[in-house]
Amino acid sequence: MQDHGYGEHEATFGDRLTAAREGAGLAVADLAGRLGVRAETLKGWESDQAEPRAVFLGRLAGMLGVPLVWLLTGEGQGPHEGAGIRQSARAELRDLRRVLEEAAQRIERLEGVLADD
């Protein structure tokens, strides 16, 4: 991970988000695409010009392989070089499984509604 020139206590949410994304080996466009937001939105978060909604915080932490508490406060273990990519892949896989499960439940519900016709 690069040295961003700030101490642990001086880092902002945007600084930690950038460090975690870089530690995971992801470009802004890659992470934005995985989250379903525009690259400009993610850049706004990283530059502390905007804050993500709560729904994105857990997904960000999972995709980047960092604890949510660290991402929000800087307390605890941050990203580790090399490990971030595998952790990111695991988190993305968990996220995809969750999405597929939700889709399967919606399909079953809709099939039930249509079966009543």
Q: Tell me: the pLDDT tens digits for 17-69?
A: 999 998 888 899 999 999 999 999 999 999 999 999 998 999 999 999 889 99
- Per-residue pLDDT at 78 exceeds 80: no
pTM of the model: 0.62
- Per-residue pLDDT at 107 exceeds 60: yes
5 part of a folded domain: no
Between CA 92 and CA 43 the distance in angstroms is 20
* Residue with the larger pLDDT of the pair 9 and 58: 58
47 part of a folded domain: yes
What's the mean pLDDT in 83-101?
Answer: 72
Nearest to 77 by CA among 89, 69, 86, 88: 69
What's the mean pLDDT in 70-82?
Answer: 77
5 burial level (CB within 10 Å; 0-12, 13-18, 19+): exposed
Domains of the chain: total: 1
105 part of a folded domain: yes
Count Cα atoms within 13 angstroms, Cβ side, for 71. 23
Domain that holds residue 47: 13-115
CATH number at residue 106: 1.10.260.40
